[in-house]
């Protein structure tokens, strides 16, 4: 964004050029390529991105932003989940009373709970769509095979997260949904019994199962998800960013991005270019 | 390293002890192509920001207007009818209607996960050969023989004929066959002809999973009976 | 790798003004959203309902407490005293570090087992590290019975005259 206007420049300068701001952000406003580069690679949160990116990679129709949206949904889930944790006791039957508490007493309780639940469904759906998009784009081909496998594990973690969270309200839907699920796991030939026993912390869906699912849902699974998500994004960076197809395989995009004219030195008369 | 020979000598002045050998810098993958690029700030981050805001807005609107369900407190002595798992498991639960748990709960999903993991390590068409370029007749024969065998399996081994798996199979087989029957260089049929076998298998899995899940969510009621959502509602 | 970028895209004044205005509106909207989120987040943390012990207790009829006696109620952490000039209730929680005090009937005094604080039968500190006297609590008469509200304190000279 060009900063050639002077009307509000003084506001921007007051905010951006004072000592305190400059001690936090060590680069200037992003109106030169140098500052734009610095904005990315001197920032701990942003530097997982490349400084420059292929124009074709950022088009919406390339990835439909599904990977990023999945990660964003996960972020929403973590934040709403932490808020919900302040009013939830993972013991039966107190858990159900806490759900009632959230529903009728707590300020914005229903909103946060609904947001958490919808974001959970959205995350499973987005992750599945992301997998389908990656497959049909062929972005799993060598050298990206292992990243695909990491993605499959991430899918399983997402489904497990959704499943462990499902039990926590301790209502009929939760209890019987989990009963059906653990019985399906039980029917595994050799390991089934032990899987069910470990999952439930016993043989029944009771207080122990609730506590176990709570710890899995809030600590163990998110930990592994974040770990593998970091690997997943790292691998995409190391493989050169979004997969854009083999040479010769890609049909040209419908319209090439408009090329901006050469940057003019400040002070030169500007001619309209349209 | 090619073209480099390491001299050694006891005289440290002649050949100092080498601690590390630094190769010439390799190109980062991002510089490998000649295509036009833009700065991430602002182009990428603006798009990410907009996507984040649109997603949040959509979810917040849903959260305001549609309530999450909360049924009565868990009661081990009272099983609801039907007892449905969350929607992403309902495809499996629907499969349970046709096959015993060992197959539909363990074997099939296990095989599906295994197939997913293994996809990138197989079926890489390095010659970039279209499916029907060579040996069309024998490939067609193999295709329809497999379809016949699979159809027989899924129609007759389950408790009921597993139409949600068989119908997508037939659809996929027909789509696969079209380019062989009507060879074209352009258009939709040509595009179909360019797809790999992995593509078709994945498409079949995808359509079958969607079919099973949709039936499990919308078309099953008490006793896992077939219901019509517009007539009986959604259970 | 050619860089396509609009470092200084030629904009006429209208475009610039519009761009600035939209940027300002966008920033204001984000600011409002952030403010709303922050306020909601803090307000959410305020519990509306407390799942804590009952605060008001029925003690009994005033006739059951003879003059000059102190009734100790360790479960409610309250002493009820029938003094010469009336009834009063005081907290049994030591003002030093919160231990539960005990009443020594033989010596007519209250003592704290934790650090040796001693109080008179009116709650004044006679010995030990306690910094303040035992606070008095609201005592009322309802339907012929004495009722103590442990969440309400009163001045030390307030008594309930029956």
Rounded to an integer, what distance in angstroms lies between the CA atom of residue C143 and that of residue C45?
Answer: 39
Chain B residue with Cα closest to A66: B51
CATH classification at residue C77: 2.102.10.10
Question: Does residue C70 fall inside a structural domain?
Answer: yes
B186 in contact with C, Cβ within 8 Å: no
CA–CA gap between residue A192 and residue A187 (Å, rounded): 6
Mean pLDDT of chain A: 85
Q: Calculate mean pLDDT across residues A197-215.
A: 89
| Residue C110 near residue C120 (C-beta atoms within 8 A) | yes
Low-confidence ranges of chain C (pLDDT < 70): 1-2, 6-11
Cβ C16 vs Cβ A5: under 8 Å: yes
Backbone angles phi, psi at C25, to 5 degrees: -60, -45
A55 and chain C in contact, CB less than 8 A = yes
- Contact list in B for residue C3 (CB cut-off 8 A) is 36-39
Average pLDDT, stretch A49-56? Answer: 89
Q: Do A172 and B78 touch (CB under 8 A)?
A: yes
- Among chain B residues, the shortest Cα distance to A151 is held by B117
Closest CA to B179 of B121, B227, B224, B139: B139
Give the chain C residue whose CA is nearest to the CA of A268.
C10
Give ipTM to 2 decimals: 0.83
C42 and C64 fall within a common domain: no
Asked whether residue C131 is assigned to any structural domain, the reply reads: yes
pLDDT recorded at residue B183: 85
Touching subunits of A (3+ CB pairs, under 8 Å) are B, C
Instruction: For C30, name the nearest residue in chain B, comparing CA atoms only.
Output: B53
Burial B106-115 (b: 16+ CB within 10 A, else e): bbebeeeeee
Distance CA B154, CA B99 (A): 10
C98 and C138 assigned to the same domain:
yes
Q: How far apart are CA A184 and CA B105, in angstroms?
A: 5
Q: How many independent structural domains does chain C possess?
A: 2
Cβ of A166 within 8 Å of Cβ of B36? The answer is no
Closest CA of chain A from C17, distance in Å: 8
C1 part of a folded domain: no
Does C21 reside within a domain?
yes
pLDDT, tens digit, for every residue of B20-44?
A: 777 776 656 656 677 888 888 888 9
Chain B nearest CA to A259, separation (Å): 10
Q: For A77-134, write each residue's pLDDT tens digit.
A: 999 999 999 999 999 889 999 999 999 999 999 999 999 999 999 999 999 999 999 9
Element (H, E) at C103: strand C102-104
Please list, in sequence order, all residues whose beta carbon lies within 8 angstroms of the beta carbon of residue B185, skipping any fewer than 6 positions away. Answer: none
Per-residue model confidence as pLDDT tens digits over C33-50: 999 999 999 999 998 888
Which of A7, A31, A107 is closest, CB to CB, to C48?
A107
User: Which domain covers residue C23, as residue numbers?
Assistant: 12-46
Cβ separation of A257 and C24 shorter than 8 Å?
no
Verify that C29 and C87 share a domain, yes or no. no
- List CB contacts (< 8 A) between C9 and chain A: 2, 260-261
C77 and C129 part of one domain: yes
In a domain, C84, yes or no: yes
CA dist A60 → A52, A57, A65, A133 (Å): 17, 9, 6, 12
B-chain CB neighbours of C4 within 8 Å are 36-38
Domain assignments of chain B as residue spans, ordered by start: 87-228
Best probe of the C interface among A32, A255, A260, A268, by most C CBs < 10 A, is: A260
Residue C79 CB-half CA count within 13 A: 29
pLDDT band at A252 (very low <50, low <70, confident <90, very high): very low
Q: Pick from B33, B34, B37: which is nearest to C3 by CB?
A: B37
- Report the residue of chain A nearest C1, measured CA to CA: A54
B37/C contact by beta carbon, under 8 A = yes
Q: Does one domain contain both C78 and C142?
A: yes
Asked if the model's pLDDT at residue A212 lies above 70, the reply is yes
A10 touches C: beta carbon within 8 Å: no
CB < 8 Å to B78, chain A: 172
Whether residue C40 lies inside any domain: the answer is yes
Instruction: Using the structure block, give the residue that is written with the tokens 């001693």.
Output: C118
Domains for chain A: give ranges and CATH numbers.
65-169+221-238 (1.20.810.10)
The pLDDT tens digits along chain B (235 residues) read 556 676 777 777 777 776 777 777 665 665 667 788 888 888 899 999 999 999 999 999 999 999 998 999 999 999 888 888 888 888 888 998 899 888 887 788 888 889 888 888 876 655 556 677 777 888 889 899 999 999 999 999 989 999 999 999 999 999 999 988 888 888 888 888 888 888 888 999 999 999 999 999 999 988 888 999 898 888 8
């Amino acid at each position: 964004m060009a900063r050639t206007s002077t009307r509000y420049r003084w506001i921007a300068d007051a905010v951006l050029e004072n000592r305190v701001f400059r001690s936090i952000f060590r680069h200037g406003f992003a109106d030169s390529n140098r500052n734009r580069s610095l904005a990315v690679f001197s920032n701990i949160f942003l530097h997982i991105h490349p400084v420059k990116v292929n124009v074709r990679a950022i088009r919406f129709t390339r990835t439909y932003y599904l990977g990023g949206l999945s990660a964003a949904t996960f972020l929403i889930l973590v934040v709403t989940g932490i808020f919900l944790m302040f009013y939830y006791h993972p013991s039966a039957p107190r858990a159900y009373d806490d759900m009632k508490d959230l529903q009728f007493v707590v300020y914005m309780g229903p909103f946060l709970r609904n947001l958490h639940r919808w974001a959970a469904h959205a995350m499973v759906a987005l992750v599945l769509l992301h997998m389908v998009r990656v497959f049909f784009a062929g972005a799993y081909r060598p050298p990206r095979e292992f990243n695909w496998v990491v993605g499959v594990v991430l899918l399983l973690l997402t489904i497990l997260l959704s499943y462990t969270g499902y039990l926590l309200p301790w209502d009929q839907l939760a209890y019987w949904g989990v009963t059906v699920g653990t019985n399906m796991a039980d029917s595994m030939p050799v390991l089934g019994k032990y899987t069910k026993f470990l999952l439930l912390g016993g043989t029944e869906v009771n207080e122990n199962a609730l506590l176990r699912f709570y710890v899995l849902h809030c600590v163990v699974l998110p930990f592994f998800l974040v770990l593998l998500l970091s690997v997943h994004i790292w691998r995409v960076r190391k493989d050169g960013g979004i997969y854009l197809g083999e040479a010769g395989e890609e049909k040209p995009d419908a319209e090439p991005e408009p090329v901006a004219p050469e940057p003019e030195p400040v002070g030169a008369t500007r001619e309209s270019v349209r | 390293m090619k073209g480099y020979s390491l001299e050694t000598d006891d005289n440290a002045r002649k050949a100092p002890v080498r601690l590390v050998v630094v190769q010439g810098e390799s190109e980062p993958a991002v510089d490998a192509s000649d295509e036009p690029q833009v700065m991430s700030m602002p182009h990428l981050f603006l798009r990410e920001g907009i996507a984040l805001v649109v997603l949040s807005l959509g979810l917040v609107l849903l959260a305001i207007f549609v309530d999450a369900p909360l049924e009565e407190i868990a009661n081990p002595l009272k099983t609801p009818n039907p007892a449905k798992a969350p929607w992403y498991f309902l495809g499996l639960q629907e499969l349970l209607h046709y096959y015993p748990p060992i197959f539909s709960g363990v074997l099939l999903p296990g095989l599906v996960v295994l197939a997913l993991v293994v996809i990138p390590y197989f079926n890489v068409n390095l010659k970039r050969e279209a499916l029907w370029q060579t040996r069309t007749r024998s490939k067609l024969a193999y295709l329809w023989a497999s379809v016949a065998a699979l159809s027989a399996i899924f129609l007759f081994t389950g408790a009921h004929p597993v139409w949600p798996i068989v119908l997508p199979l037939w659809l996929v087989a027909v789509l696969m066959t079209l380019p062989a029957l009507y060879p074209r260089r352009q258009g939709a049929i040509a595009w179909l002809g360019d797809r790999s076998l992995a593509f078709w298998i994945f498409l079949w899995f995808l359509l079958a999973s969607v079919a099973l899940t949709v039936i499990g969510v919308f078309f099953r009621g008490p006793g896992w009976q077939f219901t019509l959502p517009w007539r009986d509602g959604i259970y | 790798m050619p860089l396509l970028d609009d470092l200084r895209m030629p904009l006429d004044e209208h475009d610039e003004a519009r761009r600035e205005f939209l940027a300002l509106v966008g920033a204001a909207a984000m600011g409002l959203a952030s403010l709303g989120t922050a306020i909601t987040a803090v307000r959410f943390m305020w519990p509306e309902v407390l799942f804590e012990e009952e605060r008001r207790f029925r003690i009994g009829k005033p006739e059951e407490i003879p003059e000059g006696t102190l009734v100790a109620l360790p479960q409610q952490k309250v002493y009820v005293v029938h003094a010469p000039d009336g009834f009063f209730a005081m907290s049994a929680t030591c003002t030093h570090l919160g231990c539960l005090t005990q009443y020594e009937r033989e010596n007519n005094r209250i003592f704290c087992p934790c650090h040796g604080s001693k109080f008179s039968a009116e709650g004044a500190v006679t010995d030990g590290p306690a910094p303040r006297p035992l606070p008095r609590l609201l005592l009322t008469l309802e339907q012929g019975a004495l009722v103590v509200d442990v969440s309400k304190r009163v001045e030390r000279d307030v008594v309930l005259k029956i």
